[in-house]
Amino acid sequence: MTINDNTAPKVRRGRRPGTSNTRQDILEAARARFANDGFAATTIRLVAADASVDASQVMQFYRSKDELFAAVMAIPPEALERFNTAFEGPDDDLGERVVRAYLAAWEGAQEVSEPLMAMLRGAIVNESAAEQLRSFIQSRLLEGTRQRMDTDAALRAGLASSMLVGVVTGRQIIGVPTLLSAGTEELVAVLAPAIQQILVPHPPRAEPANRP
């Protein structure tokens, strides 16, 4: 038997009624939190608290912070999957896989590239959007390569993300002639080795032993 006590403070726990309303509340809370704190500082628990739901409910709708951010920024699931799978496989061609994944996402099928380009254009004129974009891409690179890098992981992920975003910006927004005229394979051939060296740094070669 349940006793109603109108004098006790009402704390909302567990699943809230109305799935669509709950999802929208979570999205609005996440949008505000990402805008105010940026991607890196936003957590599932903070978003849940802002939306007055349990963290488990946020995870029920969005399996990770990446997916929540993608929903807020209207990043297509195909693009998110492409970013994630780029880090699956051997280290030897990681740079090429990452470059191809990012170029394909921003310059590939229209239903995938258009929302990403809208986000990139927004980042050009809005510092908050720029910070969110930088944090998101750097986070994906850092998460995907953390075990591959012994030192300076955050710096290396930041450098790689800046290069990738810079190339897309130069081609699609600024219209740098040499970048516009370059084909995808040309870009991959030049950019992939640089990204490879940044994300998978080779250990220094051992000096040969001095022979008598």
Q: Determine the structural domain holding residue 28 and report its residue range.
A: 12-72
Do 128 and 191 sit in the same domain of this protein? yes
The answer to whether position 101 is within a domain reads yes
Residue 94, pLDDT score? 92
The label of the residue with tokens 């963290």 reads 55
* pLDDT greater than 70 at residue 13: no
Asked if residue 207 is part of any domain, the answer here is: no
Q: Name the band, by pLDDT with cuts 50, 70 and 90, for residue 210.
A: low
Residues 119 and 138 both lie in one domain = yes
Residue 116 lies in a domain: yes
* DSSP summary character for residue 88: S
How many structural domains compose the chain?
2
Asked whether residue 104 falls in the same domain as residue 41, the answer is no
The lowest-confidence range among 82-86, 93-97, 112-116, 143-147 is: 143-147
Q: Tell me how crowded residue 194 is: count the other CB atoms within 10 A of its CB.
A: 14
105 in the same domain as 136: yes
Amino acid at residue number 143: E
Q: What is the CATH number of the domain that holds 80?
A: 1.10.357.10
The helix/strand/coil state of 172 is helix
Residue 138 lies in a domain: yes
Q: Which of 50-54, 82-86, 126-130 has the lowest mean pLDDT?
A: 126-130
Q: Are residues 161 and 175 in the same domain?
A: yes
121 versus 57: which is more confidently predicted?
Answer: 57
pTM attached to this predicted model: 0.68
pLDDT tens for residues 112-144?
888 888 878 888 877 777 777 777 888 878 877
CATH number at residue 37: 1.10.10.60
Both 67 and 78 in one domain: the answer is no
